[in-house]
Amino acid sequence: MKSYQVNVFGIVQGVGFRWFAQQTARTYHIVGWVKNESNGSVLMHIQGKETDIIDFIATIQQGTGFSRVDKIIKEVIIPFDANSFAIR
């Protein structure tokens, strides 16, 4: 099990990106949360199998019809307790 903080930059607020991240996390069995940041980015804490995390990030990098992902920064964090993926 791996845990990461993921910062997503681009057009990712007000376009359904957090909902998209939540649905994608369910598809790849990722737990954690996602929230908007005041600088216009989106912050996530994610946890799951490394292969699922790679697929999850590859999918969210494509964005939705209205979003555009310019940059993703992924940092290892300590494991946390979660059993779902929440929108904050």
| Cβ atoms 24, 52 nearer than 8 A | no
Pair of tokens at residue 31: 């737990």
Nearest to 56 by CA among 84, 22, 80, 7: 22
Please give the pLDDT value at position 63: 87
pLDDT above 90 for 86: yes
Domains recognised in the chain with CATH numbers: 2-87 (3.30.70.100)
Active site amino acids:
18, 36
CA distances from 66 to 22, 23, 43, 63 (A): 16, 16, 18, 8
* 79 pLDDT above the threshold of 90: yes
User: pLDDT tens for residues 41-75?
Assistant: 999 999 999 999 999 999 999 988 899 999 999 99
pTM of the model: 0.94
